[in-house]
Amino acid sequence: MGGLATIENGQTLCSQHNFLKKNLKQTETGKKMFIRLYELAKKENHQELQDFCIEILNTFEDFNINGHIEWRK
């Protein structure tokens, strides 16, 4: 996103996730990944992981971070 080409500004990602993030900000990428993780945990009925994701996603909402990215509770 136009930042400096420095170690501090880098992200270590596999090629699949690097492609998915494209031109998204780090917080947008993070929120989308937690939404996918939540949906997977819900599908697999993993309550502890669901609760963890809900807590993180509620924090995004509490601070109005990336409100344009919606998730279904």
Give residue limits of the domains in the chain: 22-68
Q: Which tens digit of pLDDT belongs to each residue from 9-46?
A: 777 777 777 766 666 777 888 898 999 999 999 999 99
Please name the residue that has the structure tokens 């780090």.
26
Q: Which 8-state DSSP code applies to residue 46?
A: -
What is the predicted pLDDT for the residue at 1? Answer: 61
Cα-Cα end-to-end distance for the chain: 30
pTM for this entry: 0.68
What three-state secondary structure class fits 67? coil
What three-state secondary structure class fits 48? helix
